[in-house]
Structure 1
Amino acid sequence: MARLNVNPTRMVLTNLKRRLRTARRGHKLLKDKRDELMKKFLDIVRENRKEREIVEKLLMDVHSRFILARALMSSEMLEEALMFPKQKVSLKTSTRNIMSVDVPVLEFTTEGSGEEDIFPYGFANTSGELDGAIQALSEALPHMLRLAELEKSAQLLADEIEKTRRRVNALEYVLIPNLEETIKYIVMKLDENERGNLTRLMKVKDMMLEQARQQRLQRDGLLQE
């Protein structure tokens, strides 16, 4: 612990006690914030794990179906079937606040006349495996966006947790101990000064009493003469 370089006066002592109260209150608030952030972070991590499993399963299905479709169809037919999509996807981004952290919210909308618009081709010259791949990819899209949202939210919360942890540690292990040590030093110095002043006052009192006694003795001696 390091003592602050201040003058040991009562005014400084009052200011330091006020700073110590503020630091302790801030330390408690930051600890509460850190704990709540950790709770939110763990909730997001658990949901993130579930979404990742869903996305990985759907993408593996998409990949395997595309491989089968490519084996059953020529490259030219496959490229021609996917060249002109019928459906358009629009992505809207916004944020929501979690414990003073703005995390992303991703929303998408599709423009088309119906569910069949996800297939940008006719069914006569294409494989059923390609239909299944397109369908699985369509189902994976909202989960992929949700996963991206959760991944970024977890990253932002982790950064905020680390910042809050550093602040808590700085207050707990640096500022508060330094303030306590400085207050203890000033109290000790003020008590020492007070004892010194009391000693000097007692000496002055003894001197004054001795002087009064001498004057009284001299006065009594003059009266006897």
Structure 2
Amino acid sequence: MADDVKTTRLELIETRNRIRLAENGHKLLKQKRDVLVLEFFKIMKQAQGQRTELNSRMKDAFDALGMAQAYHGILEVENISLAVKKAPNIDVQTKNIMGVHIPNIKGEYVAKGIEERGYSIQGSSAKIDEAASAFESSLEIILKLAETENALKRLIQEIEKTKRRVNALDYIMIPNLRSRAKYIIMRLEEMEREQFISLKTIKAKLEREQAAQ
């Protein structure tokens, strides 16, 4: 450290300023990390509920599909499904949580009316309508789950990134700056003692010279 540290009062002031900045940054990063962790667990709870809901809706959807296939036959149900013309429009935007861009997924035309699905009402039955409605309902929750799981992924990445920065300040940067300041103080005190001894020696010499005259 002795080779790369200027042992001046100005350097000590600058080092102390850097310590204060690092400590303030450390405090802010810890606050950010804590907010992100709270948001992560909040969204994770939502995701768990959505997974449970998706499993339930998918079960209902495949049950309804099975009933439609049993009534119309598998080939007929496939032919009816090919008549569906309008695919859902998926719009992905973002929202900002403590600097983390979280996806906000919205779907249009996910849930359709009977007349919007494209197949002939005369050539189908309520069982087809029920199956279509059940899968549309499942798609709605799939979009929500995709949003929350993507949010969880981005949050955990940012939490880990913030944690690394906190640790770097905690265990490397701040201790190094404090050691630097301590070293400068020690050297300044040594220089003051050396200067005091030097002045005292000069004073004694001058006094001896004056006494000899």
TM-score in terms of structure 1 length? 0.85
> Alpha carbons of 1:4 and 1:169: their partners in 2 closer, same or farther (altered >3 Å)?
farther
Residue of 157, 162, 185 corresponding to 2:183: 185
Which runs of no fewer than 5 residues in structure 1 stay unpaired? 216-225
2-structure distance, mates of 1:4, 1:130 = 82
Match of 2:61 in 1: 62
Match of 1:144 in 2: 142
2-structure distance, mates of 1:117, 1:200 = 102
Amino acid at match of 2:18: R
Match of 1:31 in 2: 30
Do 1:3 and 1:178's aligned partners in 2 also have CA atoms closer than 8 Å?
A: no
RMSD of aligned residue pairs (Cα, Å): 2.3
Instruction: Find the structure with the greater CA-based Rg.
Output: 1
Q: Report whether the alignment pairs 1:205 with 2:203.
A: yes
> Alpha carbons of 1:189 and 1:98: their partners in 2 closer, same or farther (altered >3 Å)?
same
Which runs of no fewer than 5 residues in structure 2 stay unpaired? none
Match of 1:170 in 2: 168
Amino acid at match of 2:180: T
**1:128 Cα offset (Å):** 5.0
Aligned length: 213
Do 2:68 and 2:127's aligned partners in 1 also have CA atoms closer than 8 Å?
A: yes
Q: Helix, strand or coil for the counterpart of 2:101?
A: strand
Q: Report whether the alignment pairs 1:161 with 2:150.
A: no
**1:69 Cα offset (Å):** 3.1
How big is each residue's C-alpha offset from its partner over 1:13-34, in whole Å with a ceiling of 9 and x where there is no partner?
1211111111011110111111
1-structure distance, mates of 2:150, 2:110 = 27
Moved more, 202-211 or 103-112: 103-112
> Alpha carbons of 1:132 and 1:173: their partners in 2 closer, same or farther (altered >3 Å)?
same
2-structure distance, mates of 1:88, 1:3 = 70
